[in-house]
Amino acid sequence: MSLKVLISAPYMQPVIDRFRPIFVENGIEIIVPPVQERLEESDLLQWMSDIDGVICGDDRFTERVLRSSPRLKVISKWGTGIDSIDRKTCQQLGIALCNTPNAFSEPLADSVMGYVLCFARNLLGMDRLMKEGLWQKLPGRSLKECTLGVIGVGNVGKAVIRRAKAFGMPLLGNDIVKMPEDFLARAGIRMVPLEALLKKSDFISINCDLNPTSRHLIAAEEFSLMKNSAILINTARGPIVDEQALIKALDGKTIAGAALDVFETEPLPMDSPLRQMRNVLLASHNANSSPEAWERVHLNTIHNLLEVLKGCRS
């Protein structure tokens, strides 16, 4: 009996034909369901009854889905974040859960610094005025005048720090993991409590994982601590920020702006007030965009899947 693998990762689906020979060689039939952003629980329940393995994006692998998947041996996550997968139930059922850590650190860090530059140099504001027929000079700031606070000093956070250091930015960091002293010295970063980081930073970049301790890590109380000139950048996971509290902070000029690649609900609802705010930069969860990185993740995700399935066959 051949194995069946569901390919639901949106970035892999358009190029899946390039990888079909690998699956054929390993006696695997692939199933490619229609996907836009992700498969919800109700979608997965229609597909999972005879599936042995999955290459997924941010699909909702709930306890109900996992317990309705009697043949499932492995979930190979395309990318890093596994917050949409019930890890406890995977462990209970003996379902292997793999991901590709450090897959997108470089392009994500590039995106963060792009947002920093846009706001510090007021690039979009000046572009808008010119297109409106106005010759007007807006104030900008040099990056060496701006303190960057990095929440989550893991692979992405470290990549952001390397770039910001090259611009001469003063650096503050916050993480639940203690950083080695030699790294702190090389990076030129000072680790501080979250409250101090929020009070002192001109730009705040969220780069931590989403887990029970980080959900709504940034909410009304945290916004009240920030400078009214502060810019919040989130390229990590939407629910780390209380979106309604963010909207209130922007409306009330508690902070000056935000750059958001991720949201509590994705796609971002069309009626979200964020879509109308000139001091907010928005993107469609695309800060990881990099053909070279995507190719590595395609291959690593397939490798992770095959390693488990081969082990089950032997």
Q: What residues act catalytically?
A: 237, 266, 285
What three-state secondary structure class fits 194? helix
Whether the bond into 10 is cis, omega within 30 of 0: no
Residues 6+ apart with CB under 8 A from 246: 218, 223, 232, 258, 274
Reading phi first (left if > 0) and then psi (alpha if -120 to 50, else beta), residue 282 is in: beta
CA torsion sign for 17, 68, 40, 212 is negative
DSSP bridge partners of 257: 231
Of 98, 71, 67, 86, give the one whose Cα is nearest residue 312.
Answer: 71
- Looking at residue 298, its amino acid is H
Rounded distance between C-alpha atoms, residue 238 and residue 210, angstroms: 9
Taking CA atoms, 24 is separated from 5, 18, 29, 58, 194, in Å, by: 11, 12, 7, 26, 51
Task: Count CB atoms within 10 A of the CB of residue 264.
Answer: 18
DSSP class of 191: E
Rounded distance between C-alpha atoms, residue 70 and residue 283, angstroms: 38
Rounded distance between C-alpha atoms, residue 31 and residue 43, angstroms: 14
